[in-house]
Each structure stands twice: as C-alpha cells, then as structure tokens.
A and B are shown apart, each in its own frame.
Chain A
C-alpha cells in the first residue's frame, strides 16, 4: 500500500486566496483525521471523520476552514480566505478504527504570504 497520500506537498499562496488540501487515506481505513502543526501550538486535531461522516470538528479554528469527505478514498480541507496565521504543516492521518494506530501522510507545508 502506498500509505496516506497528500497533495500538494508544498503550497505558497497570498493572503485572501482559497487553499484546498487533499488527502487519500489507506484503503480499508474508516477513520480519517486532519491535523495542523506549528511550533507555537504543536500538533492540533482539526477534524475527525468516521465512515466519511464528520464526528468532531471542534478543532476547526473558524468558519474559514471547512472539510469534506465525499467518499472513503478522498478528503479535502479548504481554507477560504487564507491568512498568514494559517501557515503551518497540515497532516492527514487514517486508521482502521478510531482506536487503532494512525498512519500519517507526508503533510502539506502551507505558507500564506
């Protein structure tokens, strides 16, 4: 298996632009997590899906952030409009169940100028 796939790996954009991050979880996994990592705040859980349904989005910082999982093999995290404080590494992770080990993707390094 190729593991969790994320795209793009790097994104540089200007303040106010829309950013869409993509994730393909490991086949057969039914739990998907989006995290944000910064030096100041560490690794933060943004949203958690189980069987394509958002279970907990309390970590989503504000309405500018939205996430979807239209099917078991694809998820997106969208930021609109983006701001410089959104600059971070965004990880997607999947697991067989909510309790099992999480497999992290390589991450998307987002820079908002």
Chain B
C-alpha cells in the first residue's frame, strides 16, 4: 500500500532540474509533498487535490494524475537548499489517512 517513489536518490548540480515521481496502487483523493533535511522534521511543500490545479512552491511545482494514481514533483533550477529527502503522502479517498512514500534522497552540489 505504500506509494512507490522514483528515483530513490538523485544528485544534481546547482541549476539543474529534477523530477520525482510517486505512484500509488490505490485511487487517491489528495497528495501531499514534504521535504525532510537530515535530523529534522518533514516540512510541508504543497498539497494537490483531486480535480485541482497544478501547484507551485517557489521553483518547485507538482502535478497529480488521478487516472494514473500518480503525482510528480518538478524541481527547477535547483539550489543547494533543495537537498534533503522528499516524501509524497497519499490519501485514499476520504480517509484523511496519509501513507508516506519510500522517499527520494536529493543532493544538490555546488
């Protein structure tokens, strides 16, 4: 039931772009995206709702394909501060129960 994220890890140079995918085996109502830095708590980035629009957070955007039960996170012109582990949290319809994905470790190098 845990959503699968890909890739598991990615290394970028500053200014490069990256895409992180999140796939669920269940029909979804909403998807949350969080970033967690080492030794810290997860921090909310954005939420995507079924039937909603693509969201943005600074130079990070995300999309939600309800039919494919997938969400993707797009990091544009990456900055050093983007380094961390990204988690998607998927919610099967109407449950409020978020199941977090396997995580994607992202490292941005100068």
Contacts and interface: CB of A to CB of B under 8 A. Distances in A.
Q: Do these two chains interact?
A: yes
Interface residues of A, number: 22
A50 B96 contact: yes
Nearest to A55: B96
Contacts of B40: 106
Most chain A CB within a 10 A radius of its CB, from B41, B91, B95: B41
Given A43-B42, A105-B41, A98 B96 contact: yes
Q: Is the interface of A mostly helix, strand, loop or mixed?
A: strand
Interface residues of B, number: 22
B100 A43 contact: yes
Contact of B43 (A56, A98, A99, A104): A104
Nearest to A43: B100
Interface string B63-80: 000000000000000000
Interface of A: 31, 33, 35, 42-45, 48, 50, 55-56, 91, 98-107
